[in-house]
Amino acid sequence: MAELTCKLLVIGAGPGGYVCAIRAGQLGVDTIIVDPRKPGGTCLNIGCIPSKALIHAAEEFARLRTFAAEGALGITAADPAIDLSRTVAWKDGIVERLNGGVGALLKKAKARLIEGTARFVDGKTVTVTSAEGESYTITAETVVIATGSVPVELPFLPFGGDVISSTEALSLTDIPRTLAVVGGGYIGLELGTAFAKLGSQVTVVEMADRILPLYDADLTRPVAQRLQALGVRVLTGAKARVFGNGQLTVETGREVEQIAAEKVLVTVGRKPQLEGWGLEELSLTRNGRFLAVDDGCRTSMRGIHAIGDVTGEPMLAHRAMAQGEMVAEIVAGERRVWDKRVIPAVCFTDPEVVTAGLSPEEAEAQGIAMLTASFPFAANARAMTVERDDGFIRVVARKSDHLILGIQAVGHGVSELAAAFGLAIEMGALLEDVAGTVHAHPTQGEGLQEACLRALGHALHI
């Protein structure tokens, strides 16, 4: 068994882990990073990136079908077809390129990558076993736990066979004729919408009284309308029970219904990956189901940090990245604390949903006197020219000084506005700051300026 030492050991090469290792290497910290899979974690390998590739392919295919059926925009097309196995191969090619890119960045930063499974022996020592059977003992001054999260499995719908998680859904080579999606959150709706566009008959089963229950009803309404237009059946206030013989049993109120389903996609959330790496050998304080950390991502044990999904909500890749960068700089001797005002979140549904900062309901719950206003894309020229004028941009500001506290949007392509939303809040912009900034025309981003103008009482285009 080879014995290695380093100043920093990162367990997990997902977005948080690899960013931590790269930044630490840039700062001259002797760093080793360990993961049993290729670098990139769930996000790159089996989550964010491959799902967006599938969503894009499904959107392109759906547009071709529209042109074939209606001759929209004066464009006609022959009856389109899709070979999902080739689509998956294209998606896998993107993942492979990005895997190689992350590996090259780690090498450039002189961070040593070991593909293997790490397990704590004590707070400073781990053993690592590679897929090839090689073994290492690594002793580090500081350890960062960045093991991420895994899908939640329902005891009555265990994964296996035709009951799949998002991981298996992204690797299907045939389009299921019928698909039941258990869970109407962002993962289920992103993938369910994609398969509906590919030709599956999709049924969504959600326990809450509406889809995307963590978002306010105004934001989710356009998504629900689009699902209906795509022929997706949505059952709310419903509970999935058992699956067998191509039928999913669902309780809807007092009734029991059988839903035809070649595949059942279970997307009821994710949980921190706290098993398989020797947590029982440590004495770490928990915060509910997560590891408790302070404003420097330090755990309750000296010399052990934790970042990303194991530390709590929001379980987002970009949060993990920011935490990883901060911890690397702390290890290098810099003074850093977690002081982010906002972490934008995006649902890549159709239409997309973006939230940054406080919603009107959250501001009200905190007792904040506020100004809030929305600008509809139905009044936006750019949205009209791309045939997607559903949705809006909404701004929430403190009434006393017009400080922007939150920005939300739902609409086609609004994910690309997330950076502007986050920047405005992080920089402490006032309504007047955004309203007085010249926005390029014609763009959907003008909706943010118009929402701020409307909150100030003098919108120009509505």
Residues making up the binding site for FAD:
52, 147-149, 309, 315-318
The CA–CA distances, whole Å, from 75 to 202, 367, 389, 430 equal 28, 53, 20, 45
412 is catalytic: no
Helices then strands, counting H and E runs in the chain, come out as 13, 23
At 371 the three-state DSSP class reads strand
CB 148 within 8 A of CB 310: yes
Annotated binding site for NAD(+): 183-190, 206, 269
Residue 408: Cβ within 10 Å count: 28
Catalytic residue chosen out of the listed positions 305, 402, 441, 458? 441
Distance (Å, whole) CA 181 – CA 204: 5
Token pair belonging to 285: 């304080």
CB 149 within 8 A of CB 310: yes
Q: DSSP state, 456? A: H
Q: Say if strands 247-252 and 404-411 run parallel, antiparallel, or are unpaired.
A: unpaired
Q: Say if strands 31-35 and 2-11 run parallel, antiparallel, or are unpaired.
A: parallel
Residues ≥6 apart with Cβ < 8 Å to 2? 134, 135, 136, 137
Annotated binding site: 52, 147-149, 183-190, 206, 269, 309, 315-318
Catalytic residue positions?
441
